[in-house]
Amino acid sequence: MNRRGFILWLTGMSGAGKSTLSRALRERLAPERAVEVLDGDEVRTWLTRGLGFSREDREENARRIGHVARLLARHGVGVIVAAISPYQGSRAEVRALAAEAQVDFVEVYIEAPLDALISRDVKGLYKKALAGELPHFTGVSDPYEAPESPDVTVRSATEPVEAGVERVLDALRARGHLSPRAA
């Protein structure tokens, strides 16, 4: 079995379920290997404080997260990134830099329709964004470029978390990062 690290890059709009899926994946992966989660909200507090929400700042945010993820993965850690990362180009750049470092990059798209995101929005961010009170809100006043061909797609509005976890784990097994399932 391959004990090299990897990057699981969970992308999707705010409220899609990236943090929920990352926690469930960490719980399942931790007994088998070293794993670390880089959650977008925590990263903005500690690693990318001061960056705003312009396109340039969001791209820089993804680059910084990608850099830390590569460093960890090069040392055998399975890294789960849970970040909106709304631009296709910045995700492709992070993937290319991971490949240069010989780190496996698995893009996981957490898809949910806007109405589902609005209905589960406990902070009221979508309501404020739709009312024009929050500028640069991804998916409302700023674009979200959905992955064209993600390695795994999780439809969080219509399937249980565990189904998504299993698909991601199957992708890691196929790449040799986890033990095969018992027969």
Residue 2's pLDDT band, with cuts at 50, 70 and 90, is low
Cβ distance 107 to 9 under 8 Å? Answer: yes
pLDDT for the residue 3: 77
* Distance (Å, whole) CA 161 – CA 39: 17
pLDDT reported for residue 182:
44
* Active site (annotated) includes residue 85: yes
pTM for this one? 0.94
Q: Which residues contact 83 (CB under 8 A, 6 or more apart)?
A: 9, 10, 11, 18, 38, 39, 40, 43, 61, 62, 65
Domains of the chain (ranges, CATH numbers): 6-174 (3.40.50.300)
Q: Output the known binding site for ATP.
A: 12-19
Would the pLDDT of 37 be above 90? yes
Q: Mark the binding-site residues, compressed into ranges.
A: 12-19
Residue with tokens 């850099």: 67
Q: Are 101 and 70 in contact (CB under 8 A)?
A: yes
Check 22, 54, 85, 149 and give the catalytic one: 85
**Residue type (1 letter), 51:** L
What pLDDT is attached to residue 183?
A: 36
